[in-house]
Amino acid sequence: MMTEPRRLPPSGVYAITSDRAGSPAEFCDAVAQAIEGGARVIQYRRKYVAAAVQRREAAAACRVARELGACFIVNDDLPLARAIAADGVHLGREDGDFRGLRSELGPDFIVGVSCYRSVERALEATAAGASYVAFGSFFPSRTKPDAPPCPLSVLEEARRLLEVPLVAIGGITPENGGALRAAGADFLAVISGIFDATDIVAAARRYHAIFEDHGAESHHA
């Protein structure tokens, strides 16, 4: 039985699943390890598996996240997020219009919006009820190698103008994440740096340490 949905925490490690091969049990174990290492949010993002597999994996991983106290977000796929009673959905530029979703989904469903390097898009998203907005890629990324770079100044400007949590993504490492946190990021989103690591728990802990070093409180609290 599913426990109650979780609200978005104020800050922390935002771990995004990778397409690394593995059984459903291994996939869920990797999610559990990321949470053990300090991930506060798990985003289900699997581009190269069948829809039926996605449904089973996402439902199982959502249960794991709930049991371990993490927030569970589905990337791109609102029907899947609703079908498995996820905590929310994350939408990119090609994933449909975020306007009107808040009235459709209710006040508690988490809606994240990718804003790339556009503060204007972030302002539009928050006006439409987005729970958080994401910026990047800040550094070269293996996941999205062609993504245009996003300067730190975009994050700093967004921090001045917005009250919602800000997520930074793109090539983030334990060494460069502190600069993003200092510039205003509430969450650091990481894919391969956690889920492609040999020791997922240890990798997540290195990212979690950034929040201990720079303060775990929200920038907009």
Average pLDDT over residues 7-34: 93
How many CB atoms sit inside 10 A of residue 50's CB?
Answer: 9
Q: Specify whether 144 is catalytic.
A: yes
User: Does 28 map to a domain?
Assistant: yes
Long-range interactions of 208-213: CB distance < 8 A, separation 24+: 208/12, 208/13, 208/37, 208/38, 208/39, 209/174, 210/174, 210/177, 210/178, 210/181, 211/11, 211/12, 211/13, 211/38, 211/181, 213/178
Q: How many C-beta neighbours within 10 Å does residue 155 have?
A: 25
| Residue ranges with strand state E in the chain | 12-16, 39-44, 71-75, 88-91, 110-116, 132-135, 166-169, 187-190
Q: What is the pTM of this model?
A: 0.93
Name the amino acid, one letter, at 62: C
Q: Is 40 a catalytic residue?
A: no
Asked, for residue 220, whether it belongs to a domain, the answer is: no
Instruction: Look at residue 37 and tell me if it is in a domain.
Output: yes
Give the domain range for residue 155: 12-214
Q: What is the CATH number of the domain that holds 170?
A: 3.20.20.70
Given the residues 102, 144, 159, 218, select the one marked as catalytic.
144
Helix, strand, coil tally for the chain in percent (to 5): 40, 20, 45
Asked whether residue 7 is assigned to any structural domain, the reply reads: no
Residue 219: how many other CB atoms lie within 10 Å: 19
Please check whether residue 221 lies inside any domain of the structure: no
Higher pLDDT, 141 or 53: 53
- pLDDT over 60 at 2, yes or no: no
How does pLDDT run across 152-201, given as a tens digit for each residue? 999 999 999 999 999 999 999 999 999 999 999 999 999 999 999 999 99
pLDDT category, 221, cuts 50, 70, 90? very low
Tell me what the pLDDT averaged over the chain comes to.
91
- 82 carries an active-site annotation: no
93 token code pair: 């530029």
Say how far apart CA 90 and CA 55 lie, in whole Å.
16
The mean-pLDDT minimum among 10-14, 16-20, 103-107, 145-149 falls in 145-149
Q: How many domains does the chain have?
A: 1
Q: Which residue among the candidates 11, 18, 114, 131 is catalytic per the annotation?
A: 114
Q: Which of 40, 45, 66, 121 is catalytic?
A: 45
Q: Which of the four pLDDT bands, split at 50, 70 and 90, describes residue 1?
A: very low
- 3 in a domain, yes or no? no
User: Is 6 a domain residue?
Assistant: no
